[in-house]
């Protein structure tokens, strides 16, 4: 009897956790972020091993323009799933928007390194944005060369003018560096767009 009672309690607890999380998502989608926070936190209390309530709580706080408050739940989400691109990017946003630029950039780097070859995560543009914002030009150049090479799926870093095996390889290396500076240009445009849209994001929110 006692075992059956514990099993029933566990099932009810799981159902309650799912219900609170789902209700939080409903409020979230409606842009009612303050109300969604109550249910995300309740879901996290019921089952602290699940990352989604922490992650969504952090994003809801970002939508409310509270990046400093978003750091703790997003750190909890990243601890539970260290290589999740969206969680790392959101934590990078929370840190960078709290003027903890170095930590934010490091989280963006982690997201880029966790991304599969050939995939360009949002974190790449965010990292370039904050490297420009903080005038870290040497790091910006290195980030372009190393991470662009990785994202394009190359097995080794090739630099324009380096010891390429043949002219075709050298041309490929030069093309990659050119792509790097194209990304920097895109980043500058993104920076201006982000500044213009920041207020609208906070009012309308960023949806998952």
Average pLDDT, the chain: 77
In a domain, 62, yes or no: yes
In a domain, 90, yes or no: yes
In a domain, 4, yes or no: no
Lowest model confidence (mean pLDDT) among 29-33, 41-45, 54-58, 191-195: 191-195
Q: Give the model's pLDDT for residue 21.
A: 92
Dihedrals φ, ψ of 29, to 5°? -65, -25
Distance CA 78, CA 88 (A): 7
Q: Quick one: which of 125, 111, 113, 133 has its CA closest to 185?
A: 125
- In the numeric block, the tokens 């936190």 are attached to 41
Q: Dihedral sign, CA of 59, 30, 208, 40?
A: positive
Residue range of the domain that includes 167: 10-204
Residue 148 has pLDDT above 70, yes or no: no
Residue of 27 and 141 predicted with greater confidence:
27
Overall average pLDDT of the 118-122 stretch: 72
In a domain, 173, yes or no: yes
Exposure on the CB side of residue 134, measured as CA atoms within 13 A: 18
Return the axis-axis angle of helices 51-63 and 67-80, rounded to nearest 10°: 160
Each residue of 97-116: pLDDT tens digit?
999 999 999 999 999 888 88
In a domain, 2, yes or no: no
Q: How many percent of the chain have pLDDT more than 90?
A: 43
In a domain, 141, yes or no: yes
DSSP run (H or E) holding 82: none
Residue of 64 and 17 predicted with greater confidence:
64
Q: Is 136:108 a contact under the CB 8 Å cutoff? A: no
Return the ∠ at Cα 59 (arms to 56 and 64), rounded to 5°: 125
User: How far from 23 is each of 11, 31, 33, 41, 52, CA to CA, in Å?
Assistant: 18, 13, 11, 11, 13
Q: Give the model's pLDDT for residue 160.
A: 43
Q: Within the chain, what is the greatest distance between any pair of CA atoms?
A: 78
The domain total for the chain is 1
Q: Give the model's pLDDT for residue 13.
A: 63
Q: Give the model's pLDDT for residue 121.
A: 74
In a domain, 172, yes or no: yes
Q: 156 pLDDT band (50/70/90 cuts)?
A: very low
Count CB atoms within 10 A of the CB of residue 36. 25
In a domain, 1, yes or no: no
Distance CA 104, CA 171 (A): 34
Domain holding 176: CATH number?
Answer: 1.25.40.10
Q: Give the model's pLDDT for residue 52.
A: 95
Per-residue burial over 69-102, b if 16 or more Cβ lie within 10 Å, else e, is bbbebbbbbbebeeebbbbbbbbbbbbbbbebbe
Overall average pLDDT of the 129-133 stretch: 82
């Amino acid at each position: 009897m006692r075992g059956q009672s514990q099993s029933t309690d566990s099932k009810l607890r799981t159902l309650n956790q799912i219900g609170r999380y789902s209700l939080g998502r409903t409020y979230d989608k409606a842009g009612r972020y303050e109300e969604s926070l109550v249910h995300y936190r309740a879901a996290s209390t019921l089952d602290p091993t699940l990352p989604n309530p922490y992650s969504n709580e952090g994003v809801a706080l970002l939508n409310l323009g509270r990046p400093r408050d978003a750091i703790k739940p997003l750190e909890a989400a990243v601890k539970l799933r260290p290589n999740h691109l969206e969680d790392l990017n959101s934590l990078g946003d929370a840190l960078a928007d709290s003027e903890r630029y170095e930590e934010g950039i490091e989280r963006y780097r982690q997201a880029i390194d966790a991304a599969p070859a050939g995939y360009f995560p949002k974190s790449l543009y965010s990292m370039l944005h904050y490297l420009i914002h903080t005038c870290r030009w040497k790091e910006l150049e290195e980030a372009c060369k190393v991470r662009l090479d990785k994202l394009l799926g190359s097995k080794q870093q090739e630099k324009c003018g380096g010891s390429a095996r043949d002219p075709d390889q050298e041309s490929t290396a030069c093309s990659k560096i050119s792509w790097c500076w194209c990304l920097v240009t895109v980043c500058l445009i993104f920076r201006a767009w982000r500044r213009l849209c920041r207020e609208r994001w906070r009012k309308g929110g960023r949806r998952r």
